[in-house]
Structure 1
Amino acid sequence: MSTSDASTSAATAADRSLRGLLLLLATIAGVAVANIYFNQPLLANFRQSFPASASWVGAVPAVTQLGYAAGMLLLAPLGDRFDRRRLILLQIAGMCIALVVATAAPSLPVLIFASLAIGVLATIAQQAVPFAAELAPPAQRGHAVGMVMSGLLLGILLARTAAGFVAEYFGWRAVFGASVVALLVLAVVIILRLPKSQPTSALPYGKLLVSMWHMVVEHRALREASLTGAALFAAFSIFWSVLALLLAGAPFHLGPQAAGLFGIVGAAGALAAPLAGKFADRRGPRAIITVSIVLVAISFIVFGASAKSIAGLVLGVIILDIGVQAAQISNQSRIYALKPEARSRVNTVYMVAYFIGGALGSGVGAIVWPTFGWIGVSVAGLAFVGLAAWNHLRLPARAAH
């Protein structure tokens, strides 16, 4: 074999190895993050199980996302300091315990407490994404992040489908029990296949956290990306947190399985993720973010006109998820280039803002829905999109780096 043939063969093997690792990281991200979305199509079930606390069921998805934001702030930065593989396994162990508590919850307050813990520990996904950026060559970073984010988005969307199906036939408690089994299987695969990561910081824990504030102050692009991402995810969450309630009432009268099936429709957004990553690598992320904001705005206009139309809701979900996912990939591709030795911390800043936005969206949905109905939810979603547009467009592109 010639030297060139040997080089080509080695490169091909390296590409296959990288694809395999990225697929595993995508699976880790998807399985982990699914746990913070299992509860969204189950709100009507929680009301039936805990009628005395029915007015508080909206707190379950809200505290789960707040827990996720807290977990990112407190746990995700450790990926710069310690081996990410070990952190992932430790968090899986803790989340299995929290899921067992949720499965056996005798009251809504216990379920809310368990949901908070699930949110904190589900930040496993935020070890997987910067791990992908570390493993991939710079020219392929956007594509690598897009591939792992595809897994994450599939986890977000198909979580609702899986939860709706399981709850329909086995009850909502079985949803959390099944997740324990899935996580234990995944832990075995991680032990066998995932390599260790190399820490890039020796800072003590306190200084590691403080350094994130310095990054926020130093990098305008990080601040802009964080607010844009948070506003778009708030819009995303206000829709998904209220959808099950819309479908449960007239004229649909559909159960959690139907609400969950919308996750399959939304999975179209996951297919757009690698493409968005490639475009971000080639043309820069800002133009893609602009298009994404327009798509999300269109989706809420469609939603507002579709309070009684399944077809309209389906169309809106496809547009919404493609727009949100493309913006997410472009934002992350952008921020990972800012400080390569601190990707976990840069990712933490961005994702904390992102999921605070998600929790805000869920909370606003719980407030707006009883008073203003579906039109109110659609208008609130558009307001969040407007915030994203203002933040993204208020600065010239050259000033935002």
Structure 2
Amino acid sequence: MNISQPKLTTGILWLMAISSGLVVANNYYNQPLLGLMAKDFNVSESKISGITMFTQIGYAFGLFFFIPLGDMFRRKRMILIDFIFIIISLLSMAMSPSVELLFPISFIIGFTSVIPQLFIPMAATLATPDKKAKAVGFVMSGLLVGILGSRVLSGYIGDIWGWKEMYYIATFVMIILWILIYLQLPEVYPNFKGGYKELMFSLSHLFKSDPSLRLSALRGGLSFASLSAFWTPLVFHLEKDFHLTSGNASNLAGKFGLAGIAGAITAAFLGGIINKYNKSTLMIIFIVTIIISWFIFYSFGNSYIGLIIGVILIDIGVQASHITNQSIIFSGHPDATNRVNTIYMTSYFIGGALGTLMTGYAFEVFGWNGVTFVGGSIAIIMLICHLIFSKK
């Protein structure tokens, strides 16, 4: 029996965009708070950086094993059930008595906070054909604002009240959001007729059969690895090299997220023009932008103006390459957008976790210069891979 899907209203679209931003923020609250956590539990920078790494690994696992289920089960029901685990994990983070428990809890936060990747294809499904791109772009904008705003908010809350209070606030926000979604979000019914085994095997087939998907996934993973290489040790850099207290460093690290608004603006602008230009050439420009940002971090990273300029450039480069990668994979598989997005975003966050792991140790051993070497090297490898494997 065919069940007609509900129409996408302005109110529902706003709910999806706001929800995407607030849920994805759960993954990024920890970054400006790492210094406070390290001080609270009396552990090293490299050890506490594992919180960010486990969150990113959890997100990658959630993307790969949970998001494909959106093609098999009712989306609203999935989202409401998942929210319960988000709420429990955030509350557990705030109440954790030891640093060892923070790592598995961070993994669960990442695993469950993948809901935006259900909202994006959901918006495309509910929108009329002539408004699909606009609807997806609107939800993506909410997600980007959530990423940027989360760092600002957590840095401020951490400085004023402490890092645990940030997670109590996040728990309350998720409870309110669950109620709104229960009352307002329409149901979207599945369109995949096979079982979970067939669904997962189709991911493998897509990955093996499409070189452009593999290259996009590789570029995406490397770009997010480079971005994570900056954000994870930033608070420690501000503490040690700018001689700030943990609270002030946390607050300031969060405020650097405001500079990343350039990336969100760029993403919104590029969404309508990237199809007019050669994507391979655009990708070279974006990767070079990331490389330049790391040169600035190395040369002027001990000044505020150098960090600000570098943040703007790296966010523009990463967000622009991200939008271009998604344009490539979606245009190649219009009937499998959920699954190719799962493959791409899983690689994206695995890359982020690896970038976090490497830069945590690099800062502890070699300081800020070690960080710039790791981040810059990742960007250069990304450029080399693109030049070798992209279609001429």
TM-score (norm 1): 0.90
Q: Are the aligned partners of 1:161 and 1:263 in contact in 2 as well (CA < 8 Å)?
A: yes
How far 1:138 sits from its partner (Å)?
5.7
Q: Which residue pairs with 1:244 in the alignment?
A: 235
Q: What amino acid is the match of 1:358?
A: G
Asked if 1:64 corresponds to 2:64, the answer is: no
Equivalent residue runs for 1:175-324 within 5 Å: 175-253=166-244, 254-283=248-277, 285-324=279-318
How far 1:148 sits from its partner (Å)?
2.2
How far 1:57 sits from its partner (Å)?
0.8
Asked if 1:387 corresponds to 2:381, the answer is: yes
How far 1:348 sits from its partner (Å)?
0.7
How far 1:255 sits from its partner (Å)?
2.3
Q: Tell me the alpha carbon deviations over residues 171-219 of structure 1, each in whole angstroms, 9 at most, x when there is no partner.
A: 1101111111111222222223322223221221122112111110111
Q: Which residue pairs with 2:349 in the alignment?
A: 355
Q: How far, CA to CA, are the matches of 1:329 and 1:78 in structure 2?
A: 24
Q: Are the aligned partners of 1:92 and 1:183 in contact in 2 as well (CA < 8 Å)?
A: yes
In terms of mean alpha carbon deviation, does 93-102 or 263-272 score higher?
263-272
In terms of mean alpha carbon deviation, does 260-269 or 49-58 score higher?
49-58
Equivalent residue runs for 1:160-171 within 5 Å: 160-171=151-162
Q: Are the aligned partners of 2:326 and 2:341 in contact in 1 as well (CA < 8 Å)?
A: yes
Q: How far, CA to CA, are the matches of 2:109 and 2:359 in structure 1?
A: 21
Q: Are the aligned partners of 1:143 and 1:281 in contact in 2 as well (CA < 8 Å)?
A: no
Q: How far, CA to CA, are the matches of 2:328 and 2:17 in structure 1?
A: 19
Asked if 1:153 corresponds to 2:147, the answer is: no
Q: Which residue pairs with 1:378 in the alignment?
A: 372
Asked if 1:337 corresponds to 2:331, the answer is: yes
Q: Are the aligned partners of 2:280 and 2:390 in contact in 1 as well (CA < 8 Å)?
A: no
Q: Which residue pairs with 1:9 in the alignment?
A: none
Q: What amino acid is the match of 1:256?
A: S
Q: Tell me the alpha carbon deviations over residues 18-37 of structure 1, each in whole angstroms, 9 at most, x when there is no partner.
A: 55444332222211111111
How far 1:147 sits from its partner (Å)?
2.8
Asked if 1:40 corresponds to 2:34, the answer is: no
How far 1:95 sits from its partner (Å)?
0.5
Q: How far, CA to CA, are the matches of 1:186 and 1:79 in structure 2?
A: 20
Q: Are the aligned partners of 1:143 and 1:277 in contact in 2 as well (CA < 8 Å)?
A: no
Q: How far, CA to CA, are the matches of 2:282 and 2:125 in structure 1?
A: 23
Q: What amino acid is the match of 1:250?
A: D
How far 1:121 sits from its partner (Å)?
0.3
Q: Are the aligned partners of 1:365 and 1:377 in contact in 2 as well (CA < 8 Å)?
A: yes
Q: What amino acid is the match of 1:23?
A: W
Q: Tell me the alpha carbon deviations over residues 347-397 of structure 1, each in whole angstroms, 9 at most, x when there is no partner.
A: 110011000000001001111111221122112111111222122222454
Q: Tell me the alpha carbon deviations over residues 66-96 of structure 1, each in whole angstroms, 9 at most, x when there is no partner.
A: 1111111110111111222222221111110
Q: What amino acid is the match of 1:338?
A: G
Asked if 1:84 corresponds to 2:75, the answer is: yes
How far 1:62 sits from its partner (Å)?
0.6
Aligned sequence identity (%): 37
Q: How far, CA to CA, are the matches of 1:326 and 1:18 in structure 2?
A: 28
Uncovered stretches (5+) of structure 2, i.e. residues with no partner: 1-6
Asked if 1:94 corresponds to 2:85, the answer is: yes
Q: Which residue pairs with 2:104 in the alignment?
A: 113
Q: Are the aligned partners of 2:89 and 2:109 in contact in 1 as well (CA < 8 Å)?
A: yes
**Structure 1 counterpart SS, 2:271:** helix
In terms of mean alpha carbon deviation, does 345-354 or 188-197 score higher?
188-197
How many aligned residue pairs are there?
A: 383
In terms of mean alpha carbon deviation, does 167-176 or 371-380 score higher?
371-380
Q: How far, CA to CA, are the matches of 1:354 and 1:53 in structure 2?
A: 27
Change (3 A) 1:324 1:303: same
Q: How far, CA to CA, are the matches of 2:234 and 2:104 in structure 1?
A: 24
**Structure 1 counterpart SS, 2:336:** helix
Q: Are the aligned partners of 1:167 and 1:174 in contact in 2 as well (CA < 8 Å)?
A: yes
In terms of mean alpha carbon deviation, does 185-194 or 257-266 score higher?
185-194
Give the aligned CA root-mean-square deviation in angstroms.
2.0
Q: How far, CA to CA, are the matches of 1:202 and 1:305 in structure 2?
A: 56
Q: How far, CA to CA, are the matches of 1:141 and 1:335 in structure 2?
A: 16
Q: What amino acid is the match of 2:59?
A: Y
Q: What amino acid is the match of 2:197?
A: G
Q: How far, CA to CA, are the matches of 2:44 and 2:267 in structure 1?
A: 39
Q: Are the aligned partners of 2:45 and 2:360 in contact in 1 as well (CA < 8 Å)?
A: no
Change (3 A) 1:138 1:385: farther
**Structure 2 counterpart SS, 1:387:** helix
Runs of 4+ residues over 6 Å off in structure 1: none
Q: Tell me the alpha carbon deviations over residues 37-70 of structure 1, each in whole angstroms, 9 at most, x when there is no partner.
A: 1111111111121115765211111111111111
Q: How far, CA to CA, are the matches of 2:278 and 2:76 in structure 1?
A: 31
Q: How far, CA to CA, are the matches of 1:334 and 1:140 in structure 2?
A: 19
